[in-house]
Amino acid sequence: MSDITLKERLLNALEGKQVDKVPVCSVTQTGIVELMDEVGAPWPEAHSDPEQMAKLAIANYERSGLEAVRVPYCLTVLAEAMGCEVNMGTKNRQPSVTAHPYPKDLEGMKMPENLIDMGRIQAVLDAIKIIRERVGPDVPIIGGMEGPVTLASDLSSVKSFMKWSLKKPELFEQVLDFATEATIAYANSMVLAGADVISIADPVASPDLMSPDSFKNVLQPRLQNFSSNVDSVTVLHICGNVNPILNYMADCGFEGLSVEEKIGSIKKAKEILGERARLVGNISSPFTLLPGPVDKIKSEAKQAIADGVDVLAPGCGIAPMTPVSHIKAMVEARDEYYS
């Protein structure tokens, strides 16, 4: 098994096949300030410039030992391409959506004919191609993006989205279908560019915002539609305590489910998933990886492996002020576990 590539190991782990050891990577954002300074690829420039985007992503793989390269660094690329206004953030704050194209109704909502040429989409695709050229064929590339539920809420505003879910189900379902179609197109363009895994983060699908019933009846079919129409291995990340919807998440057709530390027991989560999906996570980004110390990171990482996590990863996007040494500690913990 020793000649297995990083890409083979990650794909095997996500598909539930035997691996020699649990892969360690991040399916969520990986840009950190220490690396921005080190390689000269700071935010917000690295969100739009393919060369800087690629350089910053590769730096985390090379310096910390994470076993995949993941781009981009936000959940606004598709939203912006589809008409949302975006604040590009700062060196240590991610971009965010500030205005929405359809806040009152869906009047005039239509798919841009050349969606893949809009906004920063080409920058992401070019970055993926640059990464592939530099890391070679054996290192997995993870393409990250906002999920259909989050995109739908960005197009309509969270407020309207929530309101429609209760009072105007036809608008709610219409904007979800529209968003799902767009996410599939964008995801497949990343796969064509060279991404091996598509990881969607769908924070608005969290039980913190949407009821479990709503998830099961309305959101789950859209997520199933996404996973079955994207030509790669897929991972679904939903923030918060997802225990009330974990069983439904497992039926969404994604190979991997990325969860935060808030789920509590990995063992219990694994029992719920059974053979339906693999568990990715769940070392706390804000409470463990960011503050440390290294000993705590290592003991939590080893515990997660012992409890059966399939891919060791941060529970959510890596906080930009996290030191490289703390990410390295997660990788070292995995190596020590198997030594």
Q: DSSP of 47-99, one letter per residue?
A: GT-HHHHHHHHHHHHHHH--SSEEE-S-S-HHHHHTT-EEE--BTTB--EEEE
pLDDT at 1 over 70: no
Q: What are phi and psi of 23, to 5 degrees?
A: -70, 155
Do 222 and 149 touch, CB atoms closer than 8 A?
A: yes
pLDDT at 55 over 70: yes
2 pLDDT band, cuts 50/70/90, is low
Do 164 and 102 touch, CB atoms closer than 8 A?
A: no
Helix (H, G, I), strand (E, B) or coil at 233: strand
* Res 284: pLDDT: 98
| Beta-bridge mates of residue 93 | 90
Query: What letters, b where the CB count within 10 A reaches 16 and e where it falls short, cover 27-49?
Result: bbbbbbbbbbeebebbbbbbbbb
| Beta-bridge mates of residue 283 | 314
Q: For 1-20, what is the mean pLDDT?
A: 92
Do 22 and 305 touch, CB atoms closer than 8 A?
A: yes
Q: For 180-195, what is the mean pLDDT?
A: 98
Distance from C-alpha of 311 to C-alpha of 274, rounded to nearest angstrom: 15
Model pLDDT for residues 81-135, shown as the tens digit of each residue: 999 999 999 999 999 999 999 999 999 999 999 999 999 999 999 999 999 999 9
* Res 99: pLDDT: 97
Q: For 241-245, what is the mean pLDDT?
A: 97
Residue 219: which H helix or E strand, with range?
none
pLDDT at 336 over 80: yes
Q: DSSP of 256-320, one letter per residue?
A: EEEE-GGG--HHHHHHHHTTS-EEEEEE-IIIIITT--HHHHHHHHHHHHHTT-SEEEESSSPPT
226 pLDDT band, cuts 50/70/90, is very high
- 222: closest CA among 171, 196, 187, 184? 184
Q: Residue 108: which residues within 8 A CB-CB, separation 6 or more?
A: none
Distance from C-alpha of 209 to C-alpha of 108, rounded to nearest angstrom: 27
Q: For 164-173, what is the mean pLDDT?
A: 96
Model pLDDT for residues 273-324, shown as the tens digit of each residue: 999 999 999 999 999 999 999 999 999 999 999 999 999 999 999 999 999 9
Residue 138: burial class (beta carbons within 10 Å; 0-12, 13-18, 19+): exposed
pLDDT at 210 over 90: yes
Query: In terms of DSSP bridges, do strands 256-259 and 96-99 run parallel, antiparallel, or are they unpaired?
Result: unpaired
Model pLDDT for residues 129-141, shown as the tens digit of each residue: 999 999 999 999 9
pLDDT at 61 over 60: yes
* Res 3: pLDDT: 85
Percent of the chain clearing pLDDT 90 (strictly above) = 99
180 to 58, 103, 156, 229: CA distances (angstroms): 29, 18, 14, 10
> Which structure tokens are listed for 172?
């709610």
Q: Across all residues in the chain, what is the average pLDDT? A: 97
Whether this prediction's pTM lies above 0.95 is answered by yes
Distance from C-alpha of 22 to C-alpha of 195, rounded to nearest angstrom: 21
